[in-house]
Amino acid sequence: MGLRPVLLNRRTAGIASTSLALVLGVATVGLLPAATTTASPAAAAVTADEVCEDPTGTLARAKGGSAVKHDPNQLTLAQVHQREAEFADILQERAKRVGQRTLSAQAAAASVTIPVVVHVIRRDTTRAGGNIPDSMIQSQINVLNQSFSGATGGAATAFAFQLQSINRVTNSSWYPIRQGSSAERQMKTQLRQGNKATLNIYLGALSNNLLGWATFPQRSLNVMDGVVVLSESLPGGTATNYNQGDTGTHEVGHWLNLYHTFQGGCSGSGDQVSDTPAEASPASGCPTGRDTCSSSGLDPITNFMDYSYDGCMYQFTPGQATRMINAWNSYRAA
């Protein structure tokens, strides 16, 4: 399925089309070793949709093109089973309290505005040092609102996003942000704001060519909770093919409990969503007609939870929308 015209409209919409007022202000440690050199934003944005297993639940996204040895976005079958068993238990507990019919009605009628706190991690006050303008952040919030509302061609979800503040931090020891490092934990421990329902987004140059990573929701708030995104992947950034804001959409999908569309490959229950066709491996580029599994349906290369170029991604499915609101009510709702 090719690029839809409405997607092009979203990419150039900026902040004008968002219906939310923007109020501007100024679970988990991964397994990747801390880098020993400091890279520029451009250098940090150069290759790999690579991913490395992390038993603590951190998810990462990186650019396509290089060999992958270890994937922090992918969970093992045992890890998925453990998470899904917990999720099922929580849903069952809630159904007993309020009744299954009430539970389903609440999910169907849900409308959730998520407060967003953005932390810009920079080496200095130059753009090359990570100091991106407010306009790029505002455009990213617009992309989230368009993507999760279904305005780009996919299913409408229950979620909207409201920017609460932008926090700019100059700290060369946190720049680039290194996934799984003690510096990442220190950064989040000092900066994270709000409760489980508050989305904290950390922007900066990233180590290991990553585009971003996120944490799954947990029963209790973990200081590592949040989303990390390459700043130059925001709309108007320099990360070619990945600069229309969909890394942010992808990582927030993880934060709301979505797996990759290729989780589990062609066998088993995959990403735990019945209306996303099975996919053997991550898509790269925009491979229209790709079909890697014998089960029905072409690979969901236009789904936000695949690894396609931003220009090819435009949708969540109804099943993903349901999974996200059920997870919200189970883990993040007050």
How far is the C-alpha of 115 from the C-alpha of 162, rounded, in Å? 5
pLDDT-wise least confident of 34-43, 122-131, 306-315, 318-327: 34-43
Q: Quick: pLDDT tens for 23-45.
A: 222 232 222 222 223 333 333 33
How far apart CA 153 and CA 120 sit, in angstroms, is 30
Kindly report, as residue ranges, where domains of CATH 3.40.390.10 are found in the chain: 111-258
pLDDT, tens only, 183-199 = 999 999 999 999 999 99
Q: How far apart are alpha carbons 201 and 136 in whole angstroms?
A: 13
Interior angle at CA 137, CA 185 and CA 122, nearest 5: 45
Model confidence, pTM: 0.82
Largest Cα–Cα separation, the chain: 55
CATH class of the region 111-258:
alpha beta
Local confidence band at 334 (pLDDT 50, 70, 90 cut-offs): low
Q: Is the pLDDT of residue 2 over 50?
A: no
End-to-end CA distance of the chain: 39
Cβ neighbours around 184 below 10 Å, total = 25
Task: Give 74's DSSP letter.
Answer: P
The residue behind tokens 């989230």 is 144
Beta strands in 157-256 (DSSP E): 159-170, 199-204, 210-215, 227-230
Average pLDDT over residues 313-334: 94
- pLDDT interval class at 7 (50, 70, 90): very low
* Residues annotated as catalytic (active site), given as ranges: 251
| Contact between residue 169 and residue 122 where contact means Cβ atoms under 8 Å apart | yes
Question: What percent of the chain has pLDDT above 90?
Answer: 66
Residue with the two structure tokens 């927030």: 252
pLDDT at 182 over 90: yes
Q: What is the DSSP letter of 168?
A: E
Residue with tokens 């303008």: 133
Pick from 190, 227, 224: nearest CA to 61: 227
pLDDT tens per residue across span 304-315: 999 999 999 999
> Any idea which residue has 């917990």 for tokens?
86
